Copies of this chain bind each other. A is one copy, B any other.
């Protein structure tokens, strides 16, 4: 495996850069799947609607990956992005909330492929506790702190109803979990030691609406 990525700079890149890194990584994975070994910053940017100079600037935050006369080597850059994002290794994840959304997340194949392994799930509903869903055991949420220690859980996906999100997140934060992926449409106020990402399902729908409006104007 190539190892040309330079040490991570001490200044944190802006959030927008990190978010584009995930998109570059997706595109690189598609290029690799299609058998392409190299890609130019112009092509990589063009496919995502980003200028080539922005691509080079963004990737510069993560190290020196460009090769003169070649562009980027897809595998090398993909590995370098994963190293820097922290997803080159596996993260043990717990799911909290096993209603419809939680069960859908347990059935979602994409997480493991990207380095996120759901080890255990939690709910407060006695009708669910004790079951196996998609091979994952559902435990009572009262055991959360204990299991976080024994299973070395680092991240939690929060899929409880909006009105329970804040209190549940506070309990998760107290257990020593490092990050929460929040699917509830609620902003969480947590100590800074716990990282939070919010999933907003309406953003993509807005992007779709815009694309439709544009299509109709063209048509």
Contact = CB atoms under 8 A, between A and B. Distances in A.
A135 interface: no
Nearest to A197: B208
Given A12-B214, A22-B203, A195 B181 contact: no
What is the oligomeric copy number?
A: 2
Contacts of A116: 202, 205, 209
A14 to B, nearest CB: 4
Interface residues of A, number: 72
A109 B185 contact: yes
Interface string A180-214: 11000101000011011111111111111111111
B109 A207 contact: no
Interface of A: 12, 14-20, 22-23, 25-26, 30, 48-50, 84-87, 91, 93, 99-101, 103-105, 107-111, 113-116, 154-155, 157, 162, 178-181, 185, 187, 192-193, 195-216, 219
